[in-house]
Amino acid sequence: MKLSAAVFSALLFSTASAGPLSRRQSNQTQNQNQRAGTPMSPARGSAVGAAYFISNEPTGNQIIAADIGTDGKLTLRRAVDAGGLGAHGNTDPNGPDPLFSQGAIKASSSGNIVATVNAGSNTLAVFKVNPNDPTAITMIGKPVGSGGEFPVSLAINKAGDTVCSLNGGAVNGVNCFKVDQHKGLVPIANTARSLKLNQTTPATGPPGTASHIVFSEDNKQLIASIKGIPPQPGFLAVFDVASDGSLSQDFQSVAPAKGGLLPFSLTVIPGKNAVLATDAGLGFDIFDFARNAGAGNAIAGAGRSSAVAIDGQVATCWSSFSPETQNFYLTDIGTATVTEISVDNNLKGTIVKQYPQGQGSGTIDNDIATVGNNDFMYVLSANATRIDVLSLNAPGKARNIQKLDIAGPARASGVKIDGNNLQGMTTFIKKRVLHTLWPGKTYRELQNAGLVQEERFAKDRRGKVYRHL
């Protein structure tokens, strides 16, 4: 099909009107009725998406939402009542990473939702995201019981219509829910499955606690990670997901390769039927499920699984994958360092580069979002009450581009936060769809077809030709 420049219409980039509230909120019960939540700072240009984390305050959990700009930088916009209480696990000394987890809040662009745990209320809440202004979120229905105690992590399937929770307290296990656009989260039959951990509510850890829950790449398995209690290594609990969404009665327990101890975050290795798990006691573990298939029970180091040390690490616990650089980025709360890892075709993982974020900043949860053709990493540096933003650029070429203070804007707007309670990091990127001429075509598809070239704006001589819808 020949496409002439004349058929392009010059459209303005949609500018989401933020509609900031003038009224300052200090009462969380009132907040809950405020759709737009407590405003934190004004918009800075148009947003291509949002980053979310939770205050996880025991007196009232709030979702804190920041705009992601076209340059990948963040602007804190609002705090929205999550409909329940936060919690802090029992640990000594007390410090950041209250839920000992990754995935406490999780967004889905395909489902247009963001879901959070309320660990102190044993509930989950799901919110609709306004695609034109992604920090404007509205709770769907009411918070629902998480199916256990001390929920710490959430998985959302590819379609964005199923949410599964990982409960890490005295009543622990997994549970799955359908996202109903009116009722909110509706329990799916035969998904309440125990992990049989000997735990307390709130959980006592970090050793021996539930860490993270994810779907496998094909969405046919649900995987939860459990840290060991040294010298006993932890394990992954792998459930089969049936077509009706129900889970296998029992899970397959998969131990890390020799040397693995405290599997924490789970990041799918694309195209490999494998995951990279950070290991707080070592560095990271690679779990090769392809070679484990049909194994039945705990097989340490099956197939190409491995446990890899990161020299000088203290507690490597969180990870994300960059589709653009094809590398993995891990954070260590103790060294406050981002470690970039490449995993080759044979699942061999090697350290590419390390990026220190400032001693004592307490780098915990992170997520990566693609803006234009570039990936950006958002690191919750909880102990510094800050978000560190890295532009990943190319393998081995990440660069810090922003240190976003959370404490100042929170104080100024009356949003209660504490670095020891903050948790989670997830991103939402607006779907980019070309206007009318090619309905349903994404920017990337058109770019691959050679129809648009520029990184952030698809333009011809007449102006911009796409917008966020």
Ligand X SMILES: *[C@@H]1O[C@H](CO)[C@@H](O)[C@H](O)[C@H]1NC(C)=O
Piece in contact with ligand X (CB under 6 A), picked from 27-35, 178-186, 403-411, 427-435: 27-35
| Residue 84 token pair | 């329940």
Of 356, 404, 401, 402, nearest in space to 382 by CA: 404
| Residue 337 token pair | 């360092």
- Which is closer to ligand X, CB of 318 or CB of 466? 318
Binding mask 365-404 for ligand X (x = CB under 6 A): ------------------x---------------------
Gap between the Cα atoms of 306 and 407, Å rounded: 40
Gap between the Cα atoms of 202 and 51, Å rounded: 27
Please list every residue from 302 through 361 that binds ligand X, using CB under 6 A. 333, 360
Piece in contact with ligand X (CB under 6 A), picked from 24-32, 38-46, 304-312, 451-459: 24-32
Tell the residue number behind the tokens 């405003």, with chain if given. Answer: 39
29 is an interface residue for ligand X by CB under 6 A: yes
Of 61, 217, 266, 263, nearest in space to 146 by CA: 61
The DSSP secondary-structure symbol of 367 reads E
Of 159, 146, 130, 284, nearest in space to 219 by CA: 159
Least distance (Å) from ligand X to the CB of residue 209? 13
Least distance (Å) from ligand X to the CB of residue 317? 11
83 is an interface residue for ligand X by CB under 6 A: no
DSSP-derived secondary structure for 385-441: TEEEEEE-TTTT--EEEEEEESHHHHHHHT----TTT-EEEEEEE--EEE-TTSTT-
Gap between the Cα atoms of 332 and 21, Å rounded: 37
Nearest-10 Cα torsion for 110, 111, 113, 114: -70
Backbone angles phi, psi at 193, to 5 degrees: -135, 130
169 is an interface residue for ligand X by CB under 6 A: no
Total number of residues that touch ligand X (CB under 6 A): 10
- Which is closer to ligand X, CB of 317 or CB of 377? 317
- Which is closer to ligand X, CB of 49 or CB of 362? 362
Length of the chain: 469
- Which is closer to ligand X, CB of 203 or CB of 451? 203
Gap between the Cα atoms of 9 and 444, Å rounded: 19
Least distance (Å) from ligand X to the CB of residue 53? 17
Binding mask 264-303 for ligand X (x = CB under 6 A): ----------------------------------------
Piece in contact with ligand X (CB under 6 A), picked from 23-31, 65-73, 237-245, 388-396: 23-31
Among 49, 86, 96, 260, the residue binding ligand X under the rule CB under 6 A is 96
Backbone angles phi, psi at 91, to 5 degrees: -160, 155
| Residue 116 token pair | 């959070």
On whether the CB atoms of residues 114 and 154 are closer than 8 A, the answer is no
Piece in contact with ligand X (CB under 6 A), picked from 22-30, 61-69, 132-140, 405-413: 22-30
Least distance (Å) from ligand X to the CB of residue 172? 12
Least distance (Å) from ligand X to the CB of residue 315? 9
Binding mask 170-209 for ligand X (x = CB under 6 A): ----------------------------x-----------
- Which is closer to ligand X, CB of 126 or CB of 210? 210
362 is an interface residue for ligand X by CB under 6 A: yes
CA atoms within 13 A on the CB side of 382: 28
List of residues contacting ligand X (CB under 6 A): 27, 29-30, 95-96, 198, 333, 360, 362, 383
